[in-house]
Structure 1
């Protein structure tokens, strides 16, 4: 029997690791770390650094090459095939390194419950018991970095993706919209009048970048800075919150 623990590790800052996460990592027999290509090699380094800082027992750490999602064709089908490929790699690593069973841990950016597919991939594994250790999400890191409340007084919050925002516009009835997994700048598809934006990239990391202001004026600044940062680092992870003007009382 394999016990798989999905451990939320926040947004790259070792200070985001909870005591529960530390205990779970040290209780593991094996920690798997994915490699995602040279452009994202510093993400592997961050996981290595976290392990080096919190492990005080001899836990085996194994790195593996992460399958790449097909860029063409139907999006949903491509994601399903990608998840199948990742699950197959996990099975191979489990068979190789835990043939008699044991405790496996995977370190998940943010929290495994929020716009992360690790739980869905784990469902593809038979004979595996799954546990989750909650982590700090990029949304929490964003609101903390800007020192703002997530929701307006008695207001609603909608969490969506850049792809959906670009396709459908501002969600009906939402006072505040948080946008994740935006491969571009989907906010450019909106009428910016009366909208404020709080944006953050590499939250919690040394290269953290923040911008805030009216979407009409700050939107182009974010787009230019985002392109510059992506070119400099080879990758970017960002999230933003937008709020329509309203009376907060």
Structure 2
């Protein structure tokens, strides 16, 4: 059985300069890049991956293989929808690695942000390995949107002696943790509007890019403006990638 070699490379949260030195060295070694297509609305995400390769690779001994990513169904139970979507993507990865990657090749998936945070690439590769495919792979960490958000706002993610939690909007709808700051990702429903607590928010969209939008202050003062900005940005670009940090105003400052 042919052994496939892969690198899963975190490329940061949107700014080409977020690429780490380790990632640049990894890019130089790759012979085949698998580049996802997610519809015309997200064409700039596709172009960013190509720009990163052109900027940091100093040779032309590589090729790019585009592939379509299916949309995830949203009309059933969340877990079953995600499970079905991952099965479809797993079948695509199986085809790519079987048909496009030889034993002497080194393939790569360029993952937005950090591969360990809200991305399914590692899990899908592990599923293929569990099914019997011989894959040797390395994960290169990237600058996540969480790190970039905190840096752009010049704030710390945690308070002294307290944890901080990273969660999705779906989880936030169940309530805030009892203590500590909260970073929210994947909010498609303006979940912050349902919070009653007296909170500060540090919000950012397209962080680190030319389209970056930042807002910070009391949530009750900003929630309408942020909702309007999100709606306008999504209408103009066709997509939005944002996150925010919530902290209780009654907590002592560091």
Given the two structures, how large is their TM-score scaled by the length of structure 2?
A: 0.93
2:43 paired with 1:41? yes
Give me the whole-angstrom Cα distance separating, in 2, the residues matched to 1:248 and 1:241: 15
Q: Which residue of 2 aligns with 1:93?
A: 96
Match of 1:178 among 162, 176, 183: 183
Deviation at 1:101, TM superposition (A): 5.3
Give me the whole-angstrom Cα distance separating, in 2, the residues matched to 1:36 and 1:93: 16
Q: What SS does the corresponding residue of 2:91 show, helix, strand or coil?
A: helix
Deviation per residue, 1:148-183 (Å, 9 max, x gap): 1111122220111001111x1112x22201001111
Q: Which residue of 2 aligns with 1:22?
A: 24
Deviation at 1:9, TM superposition (A): 0.5
CA 1:78–1:220: 2 relative to 1, 3 Å: same
Q: Which residue of 1 aligns with 2:85?
A: 82
Match of 1:203 among 192, 207, 211: 207
Give me the whole-angstrom Cα distance separating, in 2, the residues matched to 1:198 and 1:242: 7
Paired residues, number: 246
Given the two structures, how large is their TM-score scaled by the length of structure 1?
A: 0.95
2:191 paired with 1:191? no
Give me the whole-angstrom Cα distance separating, in 1, the residues matched to 2:104 and 2:88: 21
Match of 1:32 among 13, 31, 34: 34
- Which of structure 1's runs of 4+ aligned residues deviate more than 6 A? none
CA contact (8 A) 1:84 1:124 kept: no
Give me the whole-angstrom Cα distance separating, in 2, the residues matched to 1:121 and 1:20: 23
Q: What are structure 2's unaligned runs of at least 5 residues?
A: none
Give me the whole-angstrom Cα distance separating, in 1, the residues matched to 2:161 and 2:21: 33
Give me the whole-angstrom Cα distance separating, in 2, the residues matched to 1:209 and 1:47: 22
Correspondence list, 1:102-181, <5 A: 102-125=105-128, 126-166=133-173, 168-171=174-177, 173-181=178-186
Correspondence list, 1:3-22, <5 A: 3-22=5-24
Q: What SS does the corresponding residue of 1:33 show, helix, strand or coil?
A: strand
Q: Which residue of 1 aligns with 2:243?
A: 239
Q: What SS does the corresponding residue of 2:127 show, helix, strand or coil?
A: coil
